[in-house]
């Protein structure tokens, strides 16, 4: 169980996966950055008669992952001098490589079912000694791994990075019921010493600690805005730079996080706490849900509360 962490696989190349891979590269840890096959052929690929299985199409995913990584982690978040430390690829093609690394981190969409299915696939190639963690914002570590074998569950925990992963010092480590305390200590030391994080050990409760408080605050702000008839800009003016929080304006933050992800995170508490008053506080507003339905997901889709310039 005492393997040092020298090589990693990051699964999911979205906002956080690409940011975590960039941070690993910056500190000298080579990693594979994997994601699912693009759902559709581009028009020029279809015209050439290519299929989704063709290497050219699969390489498009890799190119897209790097483009996303550069877009969401502009210098100095990501140092291109270390670009060769990140190998992007297709999840289906490279799953077997999970057996060759020391740490696998799952960073896919905030959805219990998707994460459970992915963990089953990871477990097939996993070797004892390799830590597997999830970057979930608040889904239960035990629920995610309930169907996995005991040895796997001993190696599984939450490692919750904040956005952007290079600069946000906080990292929550969330042991599950069966996680080995020895591996938690090892991960804590690695995150502190190698990744430069300030680690908080959190319990496996809905949204852990930081997002339980953060989501509550954001939803309360939104309700105050609706009740008081304020605009998005007015609320951002009193929750951001003017009060000494240069990057914390409410709606700018939601655009950065991803409005779809935020709704999933709020729903996770709503669906998993028994107390009625607490549930009500975590009910995501219809305004947020209608933005998601329109595809206004924030910076990642080019439009959220603000249009990306």
The residues carrying an active-site annotation are 160
The nearest distance, CB 281 to ligand NAD, in angstroms, is 19
Spatial separation of the C-alpha atoms in residues 210 and 151, rounded to whole Å: 29
CB 298, CB 218: distance < 8 Å: no
Q: C-alpha 272: how far from its chain's center?
A: 20
Spatial separation of the C-alpha atoms in residues 187 and 95, rounded to whole Å: 23
107 binds ligand NAD (CB under 6 A): yes
**For residues 73 and 136, which CB has a smaller minimum distance to ligand NAD in the complex?**
136
**For residues 16 and 131, which CB has a smaller minimum distance to ligand NAD in the complex?**
16
Contacts of 140 (CB under 8 A, 6+ apart): 112, 204, 206, 272
**For residues 24 and 108, which CB has a smaller minimum distance to ligand NAD in the complex?**
108
The nearest distance, CB 20 to ligand NAD, in angstroms, is 9
Among the residue ranges 105-113, 123-131, 142-150, 270-278, the one whose residues contact ligand NAD (CB under 6 A): 105-113
Among the residue ranges 81-89, 133-141, 213-221, 282-290, the one whose residues contact ligand NAD (CB under 6 A): 133-141
Among the residue ranges 25-33, 46-54, 188-196, 253-261, the one whose residues contact ligand NAD (CB under 6 A): 253-261
163 binds ligand NAD (CB under 6 A): yes
Nearest Cα neighbor of 179 from 143, 154, 147 is: 154
Peptide bond into 164 cis (omega under 30): yes
| Residue with nearest beta carbon to ligand NAD | 14
The Cα diameter of the chain in Å comes to 57
Spatial separation of the C-alpha atoms in residues 28 and 9, rounded to whole Å: 14
Given 8, 17, 197, 219, the residue binding ligand NAD (CB under 6 A): 17
204 binds ligand NAD (CB under 6 A): no
Contacts of 192 (CB under 8 A, 6+ apart): 198, 199
3-state SS assignment for residue 226: helix
Contacts with ligand NAD: how many residues (CB under 6 A)? 27
Applying CB under 6 A, which residues contact ligand NAD?
A: 11-17, 35-36, 91, 107-110, 114, 118, 135-137, 161-163, 257-258, 261, 265, 300
């Amino acid at each position: 169980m005492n393997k040092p962490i020298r090589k990693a696989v990051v699964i999911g190349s979205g906002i956080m996966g690409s940011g975590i891979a960039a941070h690993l590269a910056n500190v000298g840890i080579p990693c594979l950055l994997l994601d699912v096959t693009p759902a559709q052929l581009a028009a020029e690929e279809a015209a050439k008669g290519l299929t989704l299985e063709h290497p050219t199409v699969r390489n498009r995913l890799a190119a897209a992952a790097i483009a996303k990584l550069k877009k969401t982690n502009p210098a100095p978040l990501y140092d291109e001098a270390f670009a060769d430390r990140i190998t992007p690829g297709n999840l289906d093609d490279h799953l077997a490589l999970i057996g060759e690394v020391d740490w696998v981190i799952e960073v896919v969409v905030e959805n219990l079912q998707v994460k459970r299915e992915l963990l089953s696939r990871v477990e097939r190639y996993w070797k004892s000694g390799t830590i597997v963690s999830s970057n979930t914002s608040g889904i239960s570590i035990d629920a995610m791994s309930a169907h996995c074998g005991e040895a796997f569950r001993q190696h599984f925990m939450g490692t919750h990075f904040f956005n952007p992963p290079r600069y946000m010092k906080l990292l929550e480590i969330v042991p599950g019921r069966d996680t080995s305390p020895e591996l938690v200590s090892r991960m804590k030391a690695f995150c502190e010493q190698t990744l430069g994080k300030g680690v908080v050990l959190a319990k496996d409760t809905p949204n852990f600690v930081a997002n339980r408080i953060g989501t509550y605050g954001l939803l309360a702000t939104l309700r105050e805005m609706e009740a008081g008839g304020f605009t998005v800009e007015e609320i951002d003016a009193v929750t951001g730079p003017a009060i000494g929080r240069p990057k914390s304006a409410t709606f700018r933050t939601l655009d950065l996080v991803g409005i779809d992800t935020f709704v999933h995170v709020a729903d996770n508490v709503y669906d998993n706490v028994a107390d009625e008053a607490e549930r009500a506080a975590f009910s995501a507003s219809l305004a947020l849900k209608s933005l998601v339905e329109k595809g206004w997901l924030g910076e990642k889709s080019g439009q959220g509360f603000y249009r990306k310039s």
